A and B are shown apart, each in its own frame.
Chain A
Amino acid sequence: QQQVKQSPQSLIVQKGGISIINCAYENTAFDYFPWYQQFPGKGPALLIAIRPDVSEKKEGRFTISFNKSAKQFSLHIMDSQPGDSATYFCAASYNYGQNFVFGPGTRLSVLP
């Protein structure tokens, strides 16, 4: 019940296309859902996050869509660029971040 599932494992998108990564959870206690972006040789960096009281949050080309009833959330990258090529992790937490669970990651490659 602590698990966060993430798909796809890898994704190849053409420059300018839309990248979509999906995550699902079981534990309804989760109340914070961040996404992290990781470049090779670097630590994961917070990209964008959402709480379950909203269905969508947008920051620039990055949007989180959240479906509370389905217990699913997704990351959409609009106008994908080669510089977006990285590994993306979804995560879920509750209890003010004391319990933090990560998905297994999605490796995104954006072709020029």
Chain B
Amino acid sequence: DAKTTQPTSMDCAEGRAANLPCNHSTISGNEYVYWYRQIHSQGPQYIIHGLKNNETNEMASLIITEDRKSSTLILPHATLRDTAVYYCIVNRSGGTSYGKLTFGQGTILTVHP
């Protein structure tokens, strides 16, 4: 699975958009970009995933560059409850390798009032 690089930490003001970048320059054609987050003392929570098109759901938007070497997770209106560690993960589609999520150190997002 491709390796990802994320900033160690970021801050965001409550109500503003939080833009979390991720580099995955070695991503291959059949690998998806996944985002999970882990709020303190809880299990990881799925946010969104995509292959090459931009994706949006009720939690966030995912913008993937045309060359697929980087992506940005956007939380449009961050709240204090969005304070968490955000993990960008690249994973192959399907098969028995699915679920072997390789978590890096992630980005600690702190949303402040």
- Check if A and B associate: no
